[in-house]
Amino acid sequence: MEVTAQEVAEWMVKEIKFTGTLRQEDAIEYVKAHFGEQFVFVNENGNSSLSKDVKKAFRKLHGGRIAWDRDGFLWAWT
């Protein structure tokens, strides 16, 4: 069965609700291993990033209840 960006985003929200935070590098490793490489790309700075589709679905799902911590490279429940 084909995994969707929505399912990846749902996993991220559940993980953050449960643990309080999600580090970007942990998310990328998990997504690659459990959902597939198609949801990860290397950005212009040479860093791994989640696909735009995943980030868009993720933003819709959390509706502002999760914040990105630029210094810690993690998402946190607000």
Q: How far apart are CA 78 and CA 67, in angstroms?
A: 6
Summarised one tens digit per residue, pLDDT across range 14-34 is 999 999 999 999 999 999 999
Predicted pLDDT at 3: 95
Quick one: pLDDT at residue 24? Answer: 96
Q: Which pLDDT tens digit goes with each residue over 51-69? A: 999 999 999 999 999 999 9
Whether residue 78 has pLDDT greater than 80: yes
CB-CB neighbours of 66 under 10 Å = 19
So what's the pLDDT on residue 1?
Answer: 74
Q: What integer pLDDT is reported at residue 57 of this predicted model?
A: 98
